Amino acid sequence: MRRKMTILLGSPRRNGNSATLASSLAAGAAEAGYEVQSIWVNGLKITGCIDCRRCWTNGTHCFLNDDMKSVYSAIDLSSVIAFASPLYFYSWSAQIKPVWDRLLPYFSPNSKVDARGRRAVLISVAGDSSASCFDGLKKSFKLACDFAGWKIAGEILAYGLHAAGDASGRKEWLDKAFGLGKKL
């Protein structure tokens, strides 16, 4: 069976910097033999977790009936999950944050899918001129991965990127993302 990676694209900009770096990651991973599924979360209807404590009670991951279903289906089968988010106010984009919260069913005591032991990748991009802008996001990612029992397979944190096309001209970041994909 081919190894599978899901990439969650958290920017509203289809031609944006996080998506560009995610494409390089995907290309590297495909060379390494991965089947890659990229999901634009911006176009999907995904509500935040409502803390109803009804995970799995209707036989599926979540009681809420929305587009998170397709994300669950992808994640169920993936050994690697990549989160590609622009840095918004030193944190996740509002588009991708609900996806994190809706991962809760995997970690409820009655979970029907054992998601522990997966590997996770973080791609983020920011306009700031220093890597320290990612400190909060990195911490959040690490704590979440520790909670989930996921190993961090790599991080691409690219700064100094403002306009949607900026990452296309930044070979160092593109190569880093491709290289990470290739060694997954």
Ligand X SMILES: Cc1cc2nc3c(=O)[nH]c(=O)nc-3n(C[C@H](O)[C@H](O)[C@H](O)COP(=O)(O)O)c2cc1C
Among 4, 7, 17, 97, binds ligand X (CB under 6 A): 17
Write the DSSP assignment of 70-84 as a string of letters: HHHHHHHT-SEEEEE
d(CA 34, CA 182): 9
Closest to ligand X by CB, 127 or 179 = 127
Binding window for ligand X (CB under 6 A); candidates: 9-17, 37-45, 56-64, 75-83 = 9-17
Site for ligand X in 130-149 (CB under 6 A): 133
Please report whether residue 160 would count as binding ligand X according to CB under 6 A.
no
| Burial label, 171 (beta-carbon count in 10 A; 0-12, 13-18, 19+) | exposed
d(CA 124, CA 159): 8
d(CA 90, CA 103): 21
Binding window for ligand X (CB under 6 A); candidates: 38-46, 101-109, 138-146, 156-164 = 156-164
Query: Which is it for strands 34-40 and 3-9: parallel, antiparallel or unpaired?
Result: parallel
Among 6, 8, 18, 181, binds ligand X (CB under 6 A): 18
x-or-dash pattern for ligand X, window 82-121, by CB under 6 A? ----xxxxx-------------------------------
Closest to ligand X by CB, 170 or 182 = 170
